[in-house]
Amino acid sequence: MLIGGNGCPKALQKMKPYVAMILLQFSYAGMFIISVATLKDGMNQFVLVVYRNIVAAAVIAPFALWFERKGRPKITPIIFIKILALAVLEPVLEQNFYCMGAKLTSASFASTLENIIPAITYLMALVLRTEKFDIRRRRGQAKVIGTLLTVAGAVLMILYKGPIFDLVFYSKAREKQSNSASSIGQGKDRSKWMKGTFMIIGSSTSWSAFLILQSNTLESYPAELTLTALICSMGAVMSTTVALVANHASSKPWIIGLDKRLLAPIYTGVVCTGVAYYVQGIVMKERGPVFASAFSPLVMIMTAIMGSFILAEKLSLGMIIGAIIMVAGLYALLWGKSRDYISSSEIERNAGESELPVATSNVSNRDSSMNGQDTKDEKISIVL
């Protein structure tokens, strides 16, 4: 059996990034449901973000101090600025934009629209030249087509509603809840929905920028646990400032009880912030930010199912058609990215096998022949 570097079969080693990202998507689906349920139950979104990052920092910091106590790199001024930028992009901007956007729309809509993240990430990577663009090859064509389909599906979701579909049978009590949670409506409801939509797009853009910057930071500061703890700690401090300003320094929004308002920051902080940053960082070091962002369709599917049963949310025809188009685009993008990885692996393998002995010639030396010495073989090798 072929064994990988860590003593595991090579096939299993190749599957690790996929398994890690799939498990992360299931945890994100739970975050969408718990967060939206808590926010619509009255919890302040700014306070939720603060508690989420405090919990994440408290859980990750001990592991970072212990496991990376010897190999932790020195924090240079450039790395410190990058960590500050990461804290602004994700804990402050992305999480606050998402909470406000999901509160104004629905968990299903928010999770579906966030499928635009891989396309935004790919476009940002092209602009920053961290991603190659080769339209002459199939993998390049697949990534371009996938990006266009993803954007087209997102635009369709925003502009077209269509008939409403129920995934489960509703009681009259849940019907009232579903109308307030999922109906786009007219007038004020329509305005709220569009405002929430733009906030979710802002959240997705911040997350894409975070992925690219996190991948870049890990190249010069390869300490995933420490980086995660620092991002969460700085994000908690910044988010606290935002929450105090937004709530006019009132103490009432900060009070939580032993209910889902306590569950939400614990679950999102431990699983979806602390653990997710760490696992995501490891995957991106191997496969890059575009790969890490290409598994969001699983979040959409799980959130739609759980949102129907738990939050009594409904799906519109425009959302379903747009989601199908976006999934097709995402997997075209994922296929193109996987071909990039295969090609780079083949190049590295060929480079390692390229130094071969090509010819051996017997060079006669006049002086040595006069002294009765044997001729020596000189090997000439060519590096391909």
Q: Pick the closest to residue 83 from 248, 238, 294, 268 (CA basis).
A: 238
Considering the domain architecture, whether residues 362 and 336 belong to the same structural domain is answered as: no
**Burial class of residue 349 (count of CB atoms within 10 Å of its CB; 0-12, 13-18, 19+):** exposed
Q: What is the pLDDT of residues 315-341, one digit of tens each?
A: 788 888 888 898 888 788 878 877 776
Task: Extract the tokens encoding 369.
Answer: 């022949």
Q: What is the total count of domains within the chain?
A: 2
Do the domain assignments include residue 137?
Answer: yes
Domain assignment present for residue 182? The answer is yes
Q: Tell me, yes or no, whether 11 lies in a domain.
A: no
Please check whether residue 208 lies inside any domain of the structure.
Answer: yes
SS (H, E, C) the chain: CCECCCCCEHHHHHHHHHHHHHHHHHHHHHHHHHHHHHHHCCCCHHHHHHHHHHHHHHHHHHHHHHHCCCCCCCCCHHHHHHHHHHHHHHHHHHHHHHHHHHHHCCHHHHHHHHHHHHHHHHHHHHHCCCCCCCCCCHHHHHHHHHHHHHHHHHHHHHHCCCCEECCCCCCHHHHHHHHHHHCCCCCHHHHHHHHHHHHHHHHHHHHHHHHHHHHHHHHHCCCHHHHHHHHHHHHHHHHHHHHHHHCCCCCHHHCCCCCHHHHHHHHHHHHHHHHHHHHHHHHHHHHCHHHHCCCHHHHHHHHHHHHHHHCCCCEEHHHHHHHHHHHHHHHHHHHHHHHHHHHHHHHHHHHHCCEEEEEEEEECCHHHHHCCCCCEEEEEEEEC
**Are 306 and 253 found together in one domain?**
yes
Same domain, 201 and 317: yes
Q: Is residue 4 part of a domain?
A: no
Residues 163, 314: contact at Cβ < 8 Å? no
CA torsion sign, 312 to 315 to 319 to 324? positive
Judge if 280 and 380 occupy the same domain. no
Higher-pLDDT residue of 346, 25: 25
pLDDT confidence band for 346 (50 / 70 / 90):
low
Co-location of 301 and 369 in the same domain: no
Backbone angles phi, psi at 28, to 5 degrees: -65, -35
Q: What is the mean pLDDT of the chain?
A: 78
User: Domain of 379?
Assistant: 355-384
Residue 3 in any domain: the answer is: no
**Distance of alpha carbon 33 from the chain centroid:** 18
Q: Which amino acid is at 153?
A: G
Q: Which residue has the higher pLDDT, 8 or 255?
A: 255
Q: Which sign does the torsion angle of CA 164, 166, 169, 173 carry?
A: negative
Residues 300, 378: one domain? Answer: no
- Half-sphere exposure for 266 (CA within 13 Å, toward CB): 8
pLDDT tens for 97-110 read: 998 998 888 888 88
What are the φ/ψ torsions at residue 3 (nearest 5 degrees)?
-115, 135
238 and 283 share one domain = yes
**Rounded CA separation 175/93 (Å):** 33
Q: Are residues 163 and 230 in the same domain?
A: yes
96 pLDDT band, cuts 50/70/90, is very high
Predicted confidence at residue 341, as pLDDT, reads 62
Considering the domain boundaries, does residue 305 fall inside one? Answer: yes
* Cα 202 from Cα 184, distance rounded (Å): 20
Per-residue tokens: 278: 């760490």
Q: For residue 170, is pLDDT > 50? A: no
Q: Does 287 share its domain with 381? A: no
**Pair 251, 364 in one domain:** no
Task: Report pLDDT digits (tens) over 249-298.
Answer: 778 888 887 777 788 888 888 888 778 878 877 887 777 776 776 676 67
User: Among 23-27, 39-43, 126-130, 303-307, which stretch is predicted with the lowest mean pLDDT?
Assistant: 303-307
- Let me know whether 303 and 370 are in one domain: no
What local confidence, expressed as pLDDT, does residue 230 receive?
94
Does some domain include residue 2? no
Contact 334, 141 (CB under 8 A): no
Based on the fold, state whether residues 33 and 155 are members of the same structural domain.
yes
Q: What are phi and psi of 244, to 5 degrees?
A: -65, -40
